[in-house]
């Protein structure tokens, strides 16, 4: 029984590999419970080398949650050229699709962002919720004063998406368009005073 050959990677490739392993594992357990020994073993490196790339366990957890957040942001961003309500509609449709496709993974992301945000004195910046709130404010050409209302709307959208994604597939499909319409109208009403 021989040992597996190690693949030499650039520092950036190794960092991406370690974060990718964390992304796959953190659906199974909260990000704070990710075993760095397991991650190092899966990567075929020592724990010490992992700490070379991420000096603390918290920094590794932040990198995993940030990568997960970037993935969601990339998946929900509207097409270039989509503006106003059409762009918001795309955001809602894509958000629902993201949660539907990866419900457990999304819940793990939300838990991870919440825990890491608390650990960092409650700083909400960088979370998916704030990103989507800023995105819809920009698309609807709303001022900064609309951001708290838009943030509340994203929390509502998230709750609706999680409830909807738990339905049977036929029920989800039958209610998809009505839910999208409802969520777009809810944002329009909620931010009407900020246009």
Which pLDDT tens digit goes with each residue over 106-145? 887 777 776 665 555 444 445 778 888 888 988 888 888 8
Q: Helix (H, G, I), strand (E, B), or coil: what is residue 29?
A: coil
C-alpha span between 193 and 195 (Å, rounded): 6
% of the chain beyond a pLDDT of 70:
88
* Residue 4 pLDDT > 70: no
User: Backbone dihedral region of 2: left (phi > 0), alpha (psi from -120 to 50 degrees) or beta?
Assistant: beta
C-alpha span between 111 and 150 (Å, rounded): 21
Q: Which two tokens stand for residue 75?
A: 């998946």
**Interval 155-185: pLDDT, tens:** 999 999 999 999 999 999 999 999 999 999 9
What pLDDT is stored for residue 78 in this prediction?
94
Between 104 and 179, where is the model more confident? Answer: 179
Q: Which of 43-47, 96-100, 129-133, 158-162 has the lowest mean pLDDT?
A: 129-133
CATH of 11-194, one of 1.10.357.10, 1.10.10.10, 2.60.120.10, 3.20.20.70: 1.10.357.10
Other Cβ atoms within 10 Å of 152 Cβ, number: 16
Q: If you average pLDDT over every residue of the chain, what do you get? A: 85
- pLDDT confidence tier of residue 191, bands split at 50, 70 and 90: confident
Task: Look at the block and give the residue holding tokens 């931010």.
Answer: 191
Q: Which two tokens stand for residue 21?
A: 């392993």
What pLDDT is stored for residue 118 in this prediction?
53
Report the helix count and the strand count for the chain, using DSSP H and E: 9, 0
Contacts of 76 (CB under 8 A, 6+ apart): 91, 94, 95, 98, 132, 135
């Amino acid at each position: 029984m021989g040992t597996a050959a190690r693949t030499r990677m650039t520092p950036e490739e190794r960092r991406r590999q370690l974060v990718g392993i964390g992304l796959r594992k953190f659906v199974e357990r909260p990000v704070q419970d990710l075993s760095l020994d397991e991650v190092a073993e899966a990567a075929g490196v020592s724990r010490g080398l992992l700490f070379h790339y991420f000096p603390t366990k918290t920094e590794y957890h932040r990198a995993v949650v940030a990568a997960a957040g970037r993935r969601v942001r990339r998946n929900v961003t509207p097409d270039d050229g989509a503006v106003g309500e059409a762009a918001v509609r795309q955001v809602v449709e894509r958000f629902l699709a993201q949660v539907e496709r990866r419900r457990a993974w999304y819940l793990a992301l939300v838990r991870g962002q919440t825990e890491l945000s608390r650990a960092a004195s409650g700083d909400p910046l960088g979370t998916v919720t704030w990103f989507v709130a800023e995105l819809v404010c920009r698309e609807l050409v709303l001022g900064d004063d609309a951001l708290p209302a838009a943030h509340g709307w994203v929390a509502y959208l998230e709750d609706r998406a999680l409830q909807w994604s738990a339905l049977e597939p036929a029920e989800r499909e039958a209610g998809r368009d009505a839910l999208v319409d409802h969520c777009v109208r809810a944002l329009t009403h909620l931010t009407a005073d900020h246009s």
